[in-house]
Each structure stands twice: as structure tokens, then as C-alpha cells.
Structure 1
């Protein structure tokens, strides 16, 4: 069966620190300005707050304002939309990626690898499993920021195959070289498209973010959005090109078998 191309829109914003209302206002404006049809809109990590450890003050629940806003945006644009926010559930806090569809279906992924250098592991609970979402005939694996450094967790397998790997992030400029290296590496090693969506600007901890959001092909060819400026970029990915490359270069047939414990 032929799978249609997938059109994706990357939103690289400057976020207001711990200011949900302002961030939702800004993102509503940017999403409303998308004129071309798109299948998937991707927002950064913690897009309502910035990368804050103030979970008790900022957390929402799954019936909260941001989830309802995502449902509204998805319906208006007739597209899936994803990004992470701070969620409280059963007295625990999660850096939770929300995948929201125009049919009102919601999928979630709780960030598995918590960034201990910012004490994220002291403020949040880690997720236990990854998510692969079927959308428009594609299989998509969304992950969060620091997950990018752990290739075993994101590895394509015959038991958990996917076509697009994506990372939403608040990735600091001082480690931009790692971001720009690891995104195409994940695409190459998994014979998959790989997308990274990051923010720009400076947060209240005086950490600077350069953006550098990117779309990588399975061959490692990478298109980076401009650094240090807000950007919205829409691009179409070819499933046919992906399958043709996998048939010509089936490296996964020689991959090592393993199980995560």
C-alpha cells in the first residue's frame, strides 16, 4: 500500500518564562498564521513555561487549559499537534509530551531521560515506555530533549518500527554542537526521518537557546532553521523516498538484537 507524503510544520518560538497565558497567545498567533495545509505541527519542550523545575506551581492536569487549547488548535488546523508540558498525575509530576489529533484522540509520552544536570530528576518522575503513533499511514516516535543522547532507547527495531523520529526540546546554545550532530546521527542509524524542534531566546536562569530546529533525512542530509530567531517552517516528507532508500540500503537486517530491561 502506498503511503501519502507527510507535511510537517516546525514552530521555533521564543518562550516567556513561566507565563502560560503569554506563550499560548504567541503560539496561537503563529499557528493561525500557517496558511498551507499541514498534517503535523510540532512545538518545543515545555512550550507553556520554558524549562522550569517549578513543577508544583506550574503543573496542569489532563483536563487543563493547555490540553483544551491543543484540542482546539488541532481541530482548527485539521492537523495533529505535539509538544511537552508539565503535568501532575496522582501526586507525581511529568514532563509529558502530548500528541493531540483533530479527532480529539490524545496520546502521551512521559520523558524517560530526565536531565540531572538541571535536577530535573528531582522534580519529575521518569516515563517507562516510548510511544509510536500511527498517523496518516506513518509511524511516528516522539521523544523529548535529553532523550536524544540515548540511542538505545530510540533504536528502530522490527518489533517497534517507525518512519519518523522526533525530538521536542529546550536545548541550550552552549551544547548546540551536540544537537546538530546527534539529530542526523539518529536519522542515519535508524534509517528514518528525524526532526528536532527547539526554542530560542534566554530564560530566567540566564540560559541562551539558539533554536537550530532541523529536519534530517535517513541519509543524514539536514535542513536547519535559522539560529537565534523565531521561525515557522513547513516541509513535506516522502514516504516513498524513505521506503526506496530502506530497500536499497537495508542496514537494519544486520542490526544487533537486544531487549531493554
Structure 2
């Protein structure tokens, strides 16, 4: 759910269900890729396992910020870090990743919430083992300038996603 202060509500349904955790037995796969706009920033919401599927988050110059909300366990933290940077670099976007902390079902979650810029630089890293709040300013003018100087999306392969 994405709720604005003026009470507008938008939502995204997770596309990639985590079959090792039997999500596919309990949930229905999302069918629609969602991009929403808030305060002039185009946002692609994603959920957890979606991070492992780069085609689903491919930026056709239609978003500026990808937000990943996740329950990514500590044992896979190195993969989490690498994939988040890869999504930021390949899509020339900011990435905001919000991850669970604590214990659940015998699994440990260390957080590792972070904000990464379009060059893969970590702007904010919350490797905390407790709940906390942080703020990070995104420089949208720098993003636009970088995309103009290095427009990789214009060289991307054409393809269409066929959703069932």
C-alpha cells in the first residue's frame, strides 16, 4: 500500500511469489507492474523476492525511484546488497530498500535497509538490529543530468512482457 498524506491510496501486488516459503500456495501472483507519482517523483514499488527478477523492474525511463519492501534474512544479506546496487545501476534510478529486523519462524532478519543512488553508491545504510527511522534526500536534478549524459535506456533491447 502507498498512502499519501491527502489519503490517496495506491497498491502493488507482489509479482514473484517465494515458492521455497510456500507463498505460491497461499497467495495470488500480482499481474500488474505499477508506477506511481508522488511529489513529481515516479516510483516503482516492489516486494521482497521481486528483487531477484530484473526484467520485472526494467526501467524504460518510466520511473526514478524503486522501493523494495522485504523480509530478506540475514543469511542472504550479501546477495541483498549486491542485487540492490545492480538494480540501481542498471535502471539508472534511486533504490530505497526497507527490510525487516528481528526474529520470526526461526529466521533472523538484520535490517540492512538502505538508499542507493543511480551510480550504485550507498547514501544511507541502516545495518541495525532494531527498529529505527532515517531520512535521505534524493537529488532528482543530478539523476536527470546523469541520464542525459549517459542514456543507456536508449540502447536497450526491445521486448514486451507477456503476463498471464
**Normalised by the shorter chain, which TM-score bucket?**
over 0.9
Per-residue deviation, 1:229 = 2.7
Match of 2:50 among 147, 151, 155: 147
Summarize deviations over 1:86-129 as a string: whole Å, max 9, x none.
xxxxxxxxxxxx01112221111111101001000101001001
2:128 aligned residue: 227
Supply the distance in 1 between the matched residues of 2:126 and 2:109 (Cα, whole angstroms).
13
Name stretches of at least 5 consecutive residues in structure 2 with no aligned partner.
none
Query: Is 1:215 aligned with 2:118?
Result: no
Runs of 4+ in 1 over 6 A off after TM superposition: none
TM-score normalised by L of structure 2: 0.95
**CA distance in 2 between partners of 1:190 and 1:226 (Å):** 24
Show the counterpart of 1:167.
68
- Inter-partner Cα distance in structure 2 for 1:152 and 1:207: 28
- Partners of 1:252 and 1:235 in 2: how far apart? 26
| Aligned twin of 1:108 | 11
Separation (CA, whole Å) in 2 of partners of 1:105 and 1:219: 32
CA distance in 2, matches of 1:116, 1:162: 28
Give the one of 85, 89, 92 matched to 1:191: 92
- Rg comparison, structure with higher value: 1
Distance 2:92 2:4 in 1: 26
**Cα distance in 2, alignment partners of residues 175 and 185 from structure 1:** 16
Could you give the per-residue CA deviations for residues 172-206 of structure 1, whole angstroms, max 9, x where no partner exists? 01111110000010000000001110011101x11
| TM-score, scaled relative to structure 1 | 0.60
